[in-house]
């Protein structure tokens, strides 16, 4: 169990995972939240640090000492390559390198890094933590930046514990509507066509943000370094997910089927389940938070 004086620094604290993590741990430790702008609701239990990782920020703006760093920040412009390539580099790679150096100099004992299940690419079977990541030529700029971040983090494993989390299609309340699951909800509700690659689209196992938070809470008190897939309980095609949404909102989904066939992107969550020892949130339950 964490001590109340444990100092935990969270980057990307206003994001989906960051905000839910803060709500879950702010009464158990001292939270230092790194944000680009203050949230609408300020918590008196949290110390805020206004830092934009895409700019020339100063380590001096961070606390002098910290026990644990949870690095969740990522560039908002990950889809805008090559126009915003430098923003992705500064936020996803340069800031990771500087935070690792800060972790060493500030006496941190643990560094938790949010990567992505997308680093495996696509394949016909579920990816486990020892699966090879996709070749660098096919990664793309954003996922390439995540792999670079993983390499940087792993290089510090002899100095402090490093934990790499690879979430698979995380979703939850207050998520940006441009992300996959809320986007599917809006397409069904608004009658816009859903693009399927092949008859039913790819299969995925999306994970609810509260389950990801439970993984982080475990990691805060665990010992040793770890790489962990963070994936949901149900393997569903894009069409099956759309039909679940349609049944809830009582609307008929519309599809546009392309000839391009892609393999699935499924995370093996056996290790995650052994760690959490709990039932994961099913999509037909968790998705209700995204439906108005």
Measured between alpha carbons, how far is residue 191 from residues 13, 160, 175, 220 in Å?
34, 50, 20, 43
Contact 174, 290 (CB under 8 A): no
Q: How far apart are CA 218 and CA 230, in angstroms?
A: 13
Rg of the Cα trace of the chain?
Answer: 19
Q: How far apart are CA 238 and CA 109, in angstroms?
A: 40
Q: How far apart are CA 89 and CA 103, in angstroms?
A: 20
> What would the pLDDT profile of 240-255 be if each residue is shown by its tens digit?
999 999 999 999 999 9
Q: What is the pLDDT of residue 138?
A: 80
Q: How far apart are CA 257 and CA 272, in angstroms?
A: 34
Q: What is the pLDDT of residue 43?
A: 83
Q: What is the pLDDT of residue 262?
A: 85
Q: Which residue stretches of the chain have pLDDT < 50? A: none
Q: What is the pLDDT of residue 135?
A: 79
């Amino acid at each position: 169990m964490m001590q109340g004086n444990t100092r935990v620094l969270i980057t990307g604290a206003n994001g989906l995972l960051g905000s839910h993590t803060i709500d879950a741990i702010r009464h158990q430790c001292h939270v230092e939240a790194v944000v680009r702008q203050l949230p609408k609701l300020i918590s008196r239990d949290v110390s805020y640090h206004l830092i934009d990782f895409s700019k020339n920020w100063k380590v001096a703006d961070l606390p002098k000492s910290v026990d644990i760093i949870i690095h969740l920040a990522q560039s908002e412009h990950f889809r805008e390559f090559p126009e915003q390539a430098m923003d992705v580099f500064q936020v996803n790679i340069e800031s990771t390198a500087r935070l690792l150096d800060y972790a060493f100099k500030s006496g941190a004992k643990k560094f938790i890094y949010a990567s992505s299940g997308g680093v495996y690419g696509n394949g016909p079977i579920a990816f486990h933590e020892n699966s090879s990541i996709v070749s660098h030529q096919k990664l793309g700029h954003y996922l390439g930046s995540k792999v670079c971040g993983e390499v940087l983090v792993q290089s510090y494993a002899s100095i402090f514990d490093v934990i790499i989390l690879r979430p698979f299609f995380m979703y939850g309340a207050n998520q940006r509507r441009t992300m996959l699951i809320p986007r599917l909800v809006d397409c069904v509700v608004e009658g816009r066509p859903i693009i399927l690659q092949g008859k039913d689209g790819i299969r995925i196992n999306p994970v609810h943000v509260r389950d990801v938070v439970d993984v982080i809470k475990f990691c805060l008190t665990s010992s040793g370094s770890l790489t962990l897939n963070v994936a949901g309980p149900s393997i569903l095609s894009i069409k099956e997910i759309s039909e679940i949404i349609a049944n809830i909102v009582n609307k008929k989904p519309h599809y546009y089927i392309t000839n391009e066939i892609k393999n699935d992107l499924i995370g093996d969550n056996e290790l995650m389940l052994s760690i959490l020892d709990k039932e994961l949130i099913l999509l037909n339950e968790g998705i209700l938070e995204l439906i108005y």
